[in-house]
Structure 1
Amino acid sequence: MIKYIFYFTTLLLSIVSSYAQDFQGMAVYESKTSMADLNNRLDSNKDITPEMRKMIEERVKGMFEKTFTLHFDKVASIYEEEQKLDAPGQDGGPFKMMSSMTGGGGKQYKNVKDKKVMMEKDIFGKEFLVSDSLPVIKWKMENESKKIGNYTCYKATAQMPVDKSNMMNFRPKKGAEEKIKKLQEEGNEEELKKTNFMDMVEMPDFVEVTAWYTPEIPINQGPANYWGLPGLILEVNDGKTNILCSKIVLNTKEKVEIKEPKKGQKVTQEEFAEILMKKMQEMQQMGGPGGGGRMRMGG
Structure 2
Amino acid sequence: MKSLLCIFFIINVLAGNAQDSGIVTYKKEWKNLYSESESGKQDKVSNPQKYREYRELEKLQKELTKQLAYKLKFDKDRSFFYLEDLLSIENQSDLALAKGPFQGDYYYDRKADSVIWAIEALGEKFLVNLDKIDWKLEKKQKMISGYSCFKASAKIPLDNGEFENVNAWYAPEIPLSYGPLQYNGLPGLVVRFETGSERYTLAQIKQKEIKFNFPKKRNFY
Contact 1:217/1:232 (CA < 8 Å) preserved in 2? yes
Q: Does 1:103 align with 2:60?
A: no
Question: 1:245 matched to which residue of 2?
Answer: 202
Question: 2:114 matched to which residue of 1?
Answer: 116
Question: 1:68 matched to which residue of 2?
Answer: 70
Q: CA 1:129–1:22 in structure 2 vs 1: closer, same or farther (change >3 Å)?
A: farther
In 2, the alpha carbon distance for the partners of 1:211 and 1:91 equals 32
Q: Tell me the alpha carbon deviations over residues 40-92 of structure 1, each in whole angstroms, 9 at most, x when there is no partner.
A: 579489595787556534554478664301111222101111222345xx532
| Alignment root-mean-square deviation, CA | 3.8
Question: 1:199 matched to which residue of 2?
Answer: none
In 2, the alpha carbon distance for the partners of 1:159 and 1:64 equals 26
Question: 2:144 matched to which residue of 1?
Answer: 148
Question: 2:6 matched to which residue of 1?
Answer: none
Structure 1 residues 1-299: aligned runs within 5 Å: 19=16, 23-34=20-31, 36-37=33-34, 40=39, 43=43, 48=49, 52-53=53-54, 56-57=57-58, 60-61=61-62, 66-87=68-89, 90-92=90-92, 94-96=93-95, 102-104=101-103, 106-123=104-121, 126-133=123-130, 135-162=131-158, 202=160, 204=162, 206-249=163-206, 251-252=207-208, 255-261=209-215, 266-268=219-221
Q: CA 1:131–1:227 in structure 2 vs 1: closer, same or farther (change >3 Å)?
A: same
Q: CA 1:99–1:144 in structure 2 vs 1: closer, same or farther (change >3 Å)?
A: closer
Q: Which amino acid aligns with 2:75?
A: D
Q: CA 1:141–1:91 in structure 2 vs 1: closer, same or farther (change >3 Å)?
A: closer
SS at match of 2:69: strand
Give the structure-1-normalised TM-score: 0.55
In 2, the alpha carbon distance for the partners of 1:23 and 1:60 equals 36
Structure 1: tracts of 5 or more residues without a match: 1-11, 165-201, 269-299
Question: 2:5 matched to which residue of 1?
Answer: none
Q: CA 1:121–1:98 in structure 2 vs 1: closer, same or farther (change >3 Å)?
A: farther
Corresponding pairs, count: 206
Q: Tell me the alpha carbon deviations over residues 168-212 of structure 1, each in whole angstroms, 9 at most, x when there is no partner.
A: xxxxxxxxxxxxxxxxxxxxxxxxxxxxxxxxxx462x3222211
Structure 2: tracts of 5 or more residues without a match: 1-8
Contact 1:120/1:127 (CA < 8 Å) preserved in 2? no
Larger radius of gyration: 1
Q: Tell me the alpha carbon deviations over residues 220-255 of structure 1, each in whole angstroms, 9 at most, x when there is no partner.
A: 111111111111111122232211111112x31xx2
SS at match of 2:111: coil
Contact 1:118/1:129 (CA < 8 Å) preserved in 2? no
SS at match of 2:87: coil
Q: Tell me the alpha carbon deviations over residues 137-165 of structure 1, each in whole angstroms, 9 at most, x when there is no partner.
A: 23222222222233221122222345x6x
Q: Which amino acid aligns with 1:128?
A: K
SS at match of 2:127: strand
Contact 2:73/2:79 (CA < 8 Å) preserved in 1? yes
SS at match of 1:56: helix
In 2, the alpha carbon distance for the partners of 1:53 and 1:247 equals 32
Q: CA 1:24–1:103 in structure 2 vs 1: closer, same or farther (change >3 Å)?
A: same
Contact 1:220/1:227 (CA < 8 Å) preserved in 2? yes
